[in-house]
Amino acid sequence: MDDHDFMEMALDLALKGRGFTAPNPMVGAVIVKNGNVVGSGYHQFFGKAHAEVNAINDAGGDANGATLYVNLEPCNHTGRTPPCTRKILDPGIHRVVVAMRDPNTDVKGGGIDFLRKNGIDVSVGICEEKAQKLNEIFVKYVRTKRPFVILKCAATLDGRIATRSGDSKWVTNEQSRGFVHQLRHAVDAILVGINTVKTDDPSLTTRLNHGGGKDAIRIILDTHLSIAPDAKVLRPNPGSDTILVAGKPVINEKKSALEGDGVRIIESAVKDKRINLDALMDQLGALGITSVLIEGGSCVIASALKSGIVDKIVFFYAPKITGGDDGIPICRGKGPEAMGDCIAVKDITVQRFGDDVMIEGYIEKT
């Protein structure tokens, strides 16, 4: 086995922290001596020990003279935990292999330089592309202080997310829906429009097959605070809060009637009679929300794309055709006049879930 193989192990370990480490990144670490893994660990929860510390503790005395593989530059600052760089020096690790440098300009990195100055051989860039994608949420948030936005939709082959009556259960199969719950577990917040709440009355909770999923914050775009008081998203949920986003100004009587038991209301700017999603992303970032999964409906999807807030799309297509033009489309409203003005998507990957097809890609920023 070589550096690439051991770094792949570290990346696999890092994934175990998905959904639990935000706003921290997902990090895994492997300690290798004489070609054998003698210690391993990952960052399990925000505020708890970092991956390097867990791996070194797991290795014990075998860490002396060993090589540490970690998918992100070890921290060289004191936050909720002490610097990992000093922990690396203590047991006599002689080499460190890092997949990617720390993009967080607030802490100014410095981990690699510190280790090198203290006589440790450091290699950088092994599996870097995979490491960047693994922590794409963290990378965007620390650079912009705005959440990484994923847009998800489920549609028929002719581009309808519901029939003319509004029926959308179920467009895609159980396997696809299971993957969506993995997405919900991985993000900080789920965002939908008030029409989705009125039509489907969703809970917007996470239900993983093996259990143990994390419920994301539920964000409802409700310009006029017209949500029904008995909507499921307003029910007390010990796993997450609900944020209602209203336009300015909010009527105090409506606000006092809805707030409480994990429900809060924030006022946001309005553009073209809808919540200004670009401005809202700044507000959500200031609240410490690092990632948002947009789940519809069609007006929200169109607004999100036009506002330029979307970073990544996850589109599911089921082997069904409505056969008419009166169903609910993926996007509502005016589109471009020319194909050259369409929103471009790059780095496409395709995955099958039974007979469903999932297309994943990234919005090409101009």
Q: Out of 36-45, 99-108, 236-245, 357-366, which region has the weakest mean confidence (pLDDT)?
A: 99-108
Is the pLDDT reported for residue 137 higher than 70?
Answer: yes
Q: Average pLDDT in the 222-242 region?
A: 89
Whether residue 262 has pLDDT greater than 70: yes
Per-chain mean pLDDT for the chain: 93
Q: Is residue 256 predicted with pLDDT exceeding 90?
A: no
- What is residue 251's predicted lDDT score, i.e. its pLDDT? 77
The pLDDT score that the predictor gives to residue 107 is: 63
Identify whether the C-beta of residue 161 lies closer than 8 Å to the C-beta of residue 38.
no
pLDDT of residue 108: 62
Tokens, residue 52: 């390097």
Q: Is the pLDDT of residue 366 over 80?
A: no
Answer whether residue 211 shows pLDDT above 80: no
How much of the chain exceeds pLDDT 70, in percent?
98
Question: What is the distance between the alpha carbons of residues 150 and 130, in angstroms, rounded to a whole number?
Answer: 18
Render pLDDT for 309-332 as a digit per residue (tens, 0 to 9).
Answer: 999 999 999 999 999 999 999 999
Q: Is the dihedral of CA 282, 287, 291, 292 positive or negative?
A: negative
Query: What is the full DSSP assignment across 241-275?
Result: -EEEEEESSPPHHHHHHH-BTTEEEEEE-EETTEE
Confidence check: pLDDT of 79 > 80: no
Which helix (H) or strand (E) segment holds residue 133: the answer is helix 128-134
Amino acid identity of 294?
I
Q: How far is CA 30 from CA 41, 93, 101, 131, in A?
A: 7, 12, 17, 15
Contacts of 115 (CB under 8 A, 6+ apart): 74, 85, 88, 89, 96, 122
Asked, as a colleague might, if the bond just before 336 is cis with ω within 30 of 0, I would say: no
Q: Which amino acid does the sequence have at 242?
A: T
pLDDT given for residue 80 in this prediction: 65
**Does residue 225 carry a pLDDT above 80?**
yes
* Residues 177-190, mean pLDDT to the nearest whole number: 96
d(CA 171, CA 115): 53
Name which of 40-49, 208-217, 258-267 the model is least confident about: 208-217
- Residue type, position 309, single letter: I
CA distance linking residue 363 with residue 270, whole number of Å: 24
* Least confident span in 36-40, 252-256, 262-266, 295-299: 252-256
Residue 159 has pLDDT above 80, yes or no: yes
Q: Which two tokens stand for residue 88?
A: 């690396």
Summarize pLDDT for 88-131 with one digit per residue, the tens. 998 999 999 999 999 987 666 689 999 999 999 999 999 999 99
52 is catalytic: yes
Look up tokens 């410490």; give the residue: 288
**Torsions phi, psi of 16, nearest 5?**
-65, -20
- How far is Cα 87 from Cα 53, in angstroms, rounded to an integer? 7
pLDDT attached to residue 78:
65
The residue from 8, 52, 73, 295 that is catalytic is 52
Write phi, then psi, for 78 (nearest 5 degrees): -100, 120
What is the pLDDT confidence band of residue 253, given thresholds at 50, 70 and 90?
confident
